[in-house]
Amino acid sequence: MPPAGRRPGPSRTREAVLDAARAEFAARGYDAVTLRRVAARAGVDPAMVTHHFGSKSGLFRAVLDVRLDPAAELAAVLTGPLDTVAERLLTRLLVLWDSPAGAATIAAVRTALQDEDGTALLRDLALSQVLRPLAAALTGPEEERRWRVDLVASQVVGLLMTRYVLGLEPLASARHPALVGALGPTLQRYLTGPLPAASVEP
């Protein structure tokens, strides 16, 4: 038995913070969560949260076991002309997904999809780390930019599911240039081409 009153060790602290963060993100959504609340819920000092996870987005990715930093990757892709961004985005995505960290991330996505809480966290992750920053880099009214990035998501998520989860052939074994040549024009049109308005249900 450990001595009474002893503080939890680093790995128990890390687990307690992850448990508290999972509950907070699920209950409140990404935007409303603060590191201070997570720390209070875990019964640790807020500095410990920063020490272990760096930032709210780092904590969030740790909760989902996402071993890539989508926001940083996207920022790198966006440094270049917008009229060729689809090709850079797709090339980068394929390199990441085909790496060991990508395989772990895809496994984490699949696990998260198994229940409503995990799915909501995944939606929050996509919105906060990828879709909103991507929308901010586009031109046009905000509603139109949100519609454009949702369309991009519909093709990118489908590529992930068919290539890595369902393993449909020949798509699962297709080389990157073939995928970029086939899907790149789709993404570029969704981002910057002419499109009908979303015309949402009232």
Pick the closest to residue 125 from 167, 91, 87, 74 (CA basis).
74
Nearest approach in angstroms of CB 177 to a copy of itself is 7
Q: By the criterion CB under 8 A, which residues form the site for a copy of itself?
A: 110, 113-114, 119, 122-123, 126-127, 131, 143, 146-147, 150-151, 153-163, 165-171, 173-175, 177-178, 181-183, 185-186, 189-190, 195-201
Residue closer to a copy of itself (CB basis): 53 or 97: 97
Residue closer to a copy of itself (CB basis): 4 or 200: 200
For residues 149 and 144, what is the distance between their CA atoms, to the nearest angstrom? 9
Nearest approach in angstroms of CB 25 to a copy of itself is 16
All residues at 6 or more sequence positions from 176 whose CB lies less than 8 Å from its CB, including other chains: 91, 94, 95, 98
For residues 5 and 56, what is the distance between their CA atoms, to the nearest angstrom? 29
Residue closer to a copy of itself (CB basis): 99 or 154: 154
Nearest approach in angstroms of CB 186 to a copy of itself is 5
All residues at 6 or more sequence positions from 194 whose CB lies less than 8 Å from its CB, including other chains: none
Cβ(16)–Cβ(8) below 8 Å: yes
Cβ(83)–Cβ(180) below 8 Å: no
Residue closer to a copy of itself (CB basis): 31 or 201: 201
Nearest approach in angstroms of CB 118 to a copy of itself is 11
Residue closer to a copy of itself (CB basis): 47 or 168: 168
